[in-house]
Structure 1
Amino acid sequence: MSAREWIGKDFYKELGVSSDATADEIKKAYRKLAKENHPDANAGNTAAENKFKAVSEAYGVLSDPSKRKEYDEARSLFGAGAGGGFGGFPGGGGAGGFDMSDLFNQAGQGQQGGFGGLGDILGGIFGRGGRGGGGAGANRPQRGADVETDVRIDFIESVKGATLPLRLSSPATCGTCGGNGAKPGTSPRTCPTCSGSGLVSRSQGAFAFSEPCQDCRGRGKIIDEPCPECGGEGVSTRTRTLTVRIPPGVKDDQRIRLAGQGEPGRGGAQAGDLYVRVHVAPDKLFGRKELDLTLTVPVDFTELALGTTLTVPTLEGKVSLKVPAGTASGRVLRVRGKGIQKRDGAQGDLLVTLEAAVPSKLDDQARAALETYAGAMKGHDPRPQITEMLEGR
């Protein structure tokens, strides 16, 4: 994509957020729009597919702090949403436009300091060489955008790990043309106007100006017979199935990176990455605290007062747990080595919280027994500090 095309797009508007939106707001907006316009949910809907591509492109820029910074700086310099031109500079269409990075590069070479910094900003965004860069940089390969998707697993899978099939619909290298954009049996040809550089130059006084070639749209190649699948773009939306390995001990909302499985690169550049965000369903019994598993076990008052041996579940089976006499409700007992084990050998424990269970109803025999117990404990004060404070007042 040429400089003019990128600056002319309003990625913030595409995602429906303000220019000062936070990274979380941008991510939330992208995920909402991507879900609404996903090809799987809108089969045959060209408008939804185009919107899906547009929001993916916008997110690829705004989700990357360095790209977003360069994009914002360029828009500030040349005017946001300038369409065919760069703010107050010529370039609204036709031969009047020029590539500002070329001007800044030359100015930087002509005097110490110059406009080299601005040239570097433009070079970073538009794939140009920055200070000292050549005109052929218009066709510089561009790394593919990163892609994010979600999977949902149960609690046991998050603890022990799992291997899951992942069905993904996203832009990918066109399988019909192999990414060159030309109909099978044909090939793109070098643009005769720009000789494959993607730029045309002209002189005006002491300066030499260049702009993207209008005949090849800055690509350096002309496709006479576009690929019927991708329309000459070299990229098409397709559904593919990947296998993702969930490592043992993965946490809720954790991201797993699959290198090179994102959107394909342009001009032979490497593909972006795929980030799989994991959502873990809560378990009915077990909870988690880092590598430790947590379990709350209801017990009778008599078991706490007199002591007992409990049988409690673990992920692998069951264990016996000794409760000492006089144990207070809320005490946590630790069972070593029965927590989460990671691949690096780290091992957590099982933390069992004892919670006194109070019956909501008592039969006559139980009530009589408790009244007898209360009479026997009449001289015992379970809250001496509070009693002492009340008596002092």
Structure 2
Amino acid sequence: MSTSRTLAEAVPPVADLPESKNAENVTRLSRLWERSQTLIPTLTALVLLFGMLIYAEIAYGRVFHAGTMSSLLVSFAPTIILAVGMTIVIVSGGIDLSVGAVVAFSSVAGVMLMNIGVNGWLSMLLMIVFGAVFGLIAGVMIQYFNVQPFIATLAMMFLARGLASILSTTPVIAPEDSPILLLATDWKLIDGPKVNDFTITPGLLIAVLVVLGGLFFMHRTRMGRTVYAIGGNESSAQLMGLPVSRTRVWIYIVSGALSGLAAIVYTAEVGGKAQNVTGIGWELDAIAAVVIGGTLLTGGYGYILGSIVGVFVIAALRLIITKDGTINPEYLTIITGAVLLAFVLLQRVLTRRRSS
């Protein structure tokens, strides 16, 4: 009798198995719900984008038009490039206020090099290097001298803008045979009636490649995962043995290099003309696009594709103002600020829900 009781006690009850399975299901559902909450701002931005485009089509017409769509894509290619770099920075919990000024300096310096006889392709490579150097200085200041990202990149903004003004206060134009102008060549993909052609440029193709490269970097490389870890909890990332110091410096190098690349694409679009006033406010457009696309300003969460949606939200706002003709262009800043505020508040609500 005692043996039978011992064996009975040794066998676990069968009823516990469904309970453990239910617990696993609840855990999976909670994780899925948490992940879906991080996508809510991006999905909201996507709904807002299509809503604005549909409104513009109904109110003004010729919006879902191959010529209009291709024009938007080409004109916002530099902003897309900047938004990719800004997404990486903000996901890490930082900020980069220097990107617009770096575009100006890289553009002016590169065109001036072309004008004194430096090979055009080498000049374009140096434009990227110039941007990377500004990013390197900012990254070193932030990581090794404990300077706040806001202050470090603000200093780089003033430095780059000042150097661009020292180089030239009047527009400089690249030589007619400069290879940079090839990046603005129109490639017709769809030959529509009249001017309804869908065209792209090498500059737009570069922006697409940057987006794909950013996606691969953030989701398929160790350094990309480290960026998320730094933004989520830097102390935990260090305890896990992740290369926090090296990664943070590289984050700003990448952002600066992409600013130099955006300078190349923009300079090509405007016919090789470079000015020291180029890029004023572009850093704010990039930050707004990233936040509207769902990236948390506190770091740890964010998506490259979400930032691209944010870029097109801003593009749609400008399209509506242009199509309307009666709206003062200065209102774009007010409207963008209001949209940005709404998305920041949405992020705060979702963050508090996750914390609770």
Report the TM-score range of the alignment, normalised by the length of the smaller protein.
under 0.3
Q: Which has the higher contact order (CA 8 A, sep 6+)?
A: 2
TM-score by length of 2: 0.20
Question: Who wins on radius of gyration, i.e. which is larger?
Answer: 1
